[in-house]
Amino acid sequence: MAYLRAVVIAATAGAVFVAAAPNANAAATNTVARWEMNEPTGATVMLDSSGNGRNGIIGSEVKTGLVVDGATAYHFSWLKPNTPPAHPEHLVTIPDSANVDPGTGDYAITLRLRWTHNFGNIIQKGQSNTAGGQFKWQAPSGVVQCLFKGSAGQRGVGSGRALNDGLWHVIRCERTASAVTMTVDGVVTARALGPTGNIDNNRPLSIAGKTNCDQITITCDYWPGDIDWVLIESS
């Protein structure tokens, strides 16, 4: 996590901070997948409401059917960090497919979520050593950081402030050919200019932690909190 922190600090040092509507200048507008995360208690399949069939596998430790503040959400419980054994059942995973990878086009991930803890990987596809690159969100000290790492380089952006206040937030991270931009509750918090190139790996997309980890040599960085929905879009 320290590695991404350094990337984000470097990227946001010269970032553009402006107010904007959530989808201002958005290039990624074609729905790849939308997971409403409103399945009932005990569900094992996360349904893709986009009609594209990108259903996910819900781990047995994930609480579904949680009703909070008028939303039906998934709850991911707190796990002691950096302590074995690994808990793959803490995750929701979506199988690898070409359209779930960012590739070379415009690509955006938007989530509605809330949490109070100060660590964890929220969503990712690939890890630091994955062939084909990666994207990931993490939340050290409650500050959300988003990284795209591809064949032409890596760019990271952050929320600029801690968001682990227990309130619902809508966060969007978008990669275009020339920049990576984060938007929080309708306001652009950071933009890192520059290309990232092709991102295409054979790993599943995971929600709330890593898939390839053992909590000994590779930490799983399990994220605790509630997620109302996830939307992935491309150009």
Kindly give the confidence (pLDDT) of every residue in the chain, 235 residues in length, as a single tens digit, with 9 standing for 90 and above.
433 433 343 333 333 323 333 344 568 999 999 999 999 999 999 999 999 999 999 999 999 999 999 999 999 999 999 999 999 999 999 999 988 999 999 999 999 999 999 999 999 999 999 999 999 999 999 999 999 999 999 999 999 999 999 999 999 999 999 999 999 999 999 999 999 999 999 999 999 999 999 999 999 999 999 999 999 999 9
Asked whether the beta carbons of 111 and 122 are under 8 A apart, the reply is yes
Rounded CA separation 47/58 (Å): 10
Query: Phi and psi for 90 in degrees, rounded to 5?
Result: -75, -15
Report the chain's terminal Cα–Cα distance, integer Å: 29
The total number of structural domains in the chain stands at: 1
| CATH assignment at residue 110 | 2.60.120.200
Q: CA dihedral in degrees (31, 59, 157, 154; nearest 10)?
A: -90
Rounded CA separation 75/37 (Å): 10
- Expressed in percent and rounded to 5, the helix, strand and coil fractions of the chain are 5, 45, 50
Rounded CA separation 145/119 (Å): 11
pTM (predicted TM-score)? 0.89
Q: What was the pLDDT predicted at 1?
A: 42
Q: What was the pLDDT predicted at 27?
A: 83
Tokens coding 14: 């010269």
Domain that residue 205 falls in: 2-234
